[in-house]
């Protein structure tokens, strides 16, 4: 970071490099997971509403953490512009979190439990709200509390994304295992029926 950068941001550079790198790597892994979706969707008959409610937000949370990290490692010469960018990111994330709540209510394929509501709706609201608060404080030249607030929020977004990604992966794995077992049972049943002669054939 150049010498013209704000010293308060310099102290957090390593932290945001770690968060940003982790978010980018996990986003790439989510694209790998998406390649498993077609088979799992056929097995579970999952509509697009369920995917957009429970899988897509995970990538958005990772990208939001990456955006905040990139913003706060940029060579700013003043805190206010960085604060407004961070606050705007939080507002956009909060708006998206509202859309996720609507999508969760709209989809009918899966009935969310308490844990789902906490990780997919409540915690993202908390994280993006903290980003907004931290951005506003940063724009008012109050870096200490602002940067701790934003750091906590980005870390929370990362953990939420990891948890939800793990839920997606385990769900897909279980659905693939279930479909494989059902296909094997049907195959065994069909082969067994074909190998047994009918009553009419035995009598003749």
Q: What is the pLDDT of residues 88-103, one digit of tens each?
A: 999 999 999 999 999 9
- pLDDT of 39: 56
Q: Does position 59 have pLDDT exceeding 50, yes or no?
A: yes
pLDDT higher for 110 or 100?
A: 100
Domain for residue 90, yes or no?
A: yes
97 lies in some domain: yes
Please indicate, yes or no, if residue 168 is contained in any of the structural domains.
yes
Q: What is the pTM of this model?
A: 0.80
Q: Output the average pLDDT for the chain.
A: 83
Within a domain: 19: yes
Closest CA to 93 of 69, 59, 118, 128: 128
Contacts of 70 (CB under 8 A, 6+ apart): 16, 20
How many domains does one find in the chain? 1
Decide which of 44 and 87 is more confident.
87
- Higher pLDDT among residues 112 and 92, named by residue: 92
Q: What is the pLDDT of residue 175?
A: 67
68: in domain: yes
Residue 19 has pLDDT above 50, yes or no: yes
pLDDT at 191: 62
Among the listed ranges 38-47, 71-80, 142-151, which one has the minimum average pLDDT value? Answer: 38-47
Alpha-carbon span 204 to 102, nearest angstrom: 65
Of 9-18, 43-52, 168-177, the range with the lowest mean pLDDT is 43-52
Residue 190 falls inside a structural domain: no
Higher pLDDT, 85 or 171: 85
The range of the structural domain enclosing residue 159 comes to 7-175
> Other CB atoms closer than 10 Å to residue 163's CB: what's the count?
17
| Cα dihedral 86, 87, 89, 93 sign | positive
Query: Can you give the pLDDT at residue 96?
Result: 96
Is residue 180 in a domain?
A: no
Residue 199 in any domain: the answer is no
**Does pLDDT of 143 surpass 80?**
yes
The pLDDT confidence band at residue 51, using thresholds 50, 70 and 90, is: confident
22 contacts: CB under 8 Å, gap ≥ 6? 158
């Amino acid at each position: 970071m150049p010498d013209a950068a704000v010293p308060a941001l310099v102290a957090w550079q390593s932290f945001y490099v770690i968060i940003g790198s982790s978010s980018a790597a996990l986003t790439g892994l989510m694209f790998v997971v998406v390649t498993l979706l077609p088979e799992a969707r056929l097995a579970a008959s999952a509509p697009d509403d369920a995917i957009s409610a429970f899988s897509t937000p995970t990538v958005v949370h990772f990208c939001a953490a990456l955006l905040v990290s990139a913003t706060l490692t940029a060579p700013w010469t003043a805190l206010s512009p960085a604060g407004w960018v961070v606050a705007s990111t939080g507002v956009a994330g909060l708006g998206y979190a509202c859309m996720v709540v609507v999508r969760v209510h709209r989809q009918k394929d899966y009935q969310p439990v308490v844990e789902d509501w906490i990780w997919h709706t409540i915690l993202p609201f908390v994280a993006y709200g903290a980003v907004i608060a931290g951005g506003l404080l940063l724009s008012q030249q109050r870096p200490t509390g602002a940067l701790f607030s934003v750091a906590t929020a980005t870390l929370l977004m990362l953990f939420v994304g990891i948890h939800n990604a793990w839920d997606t992966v385990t769900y897909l794995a279980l659905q693939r295992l279930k479909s494989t077992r059902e296909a094997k049972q049907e195959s065994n049943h069909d082969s067994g029926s074909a190998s047994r002669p009918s009553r009419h054939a035995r009598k003749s």
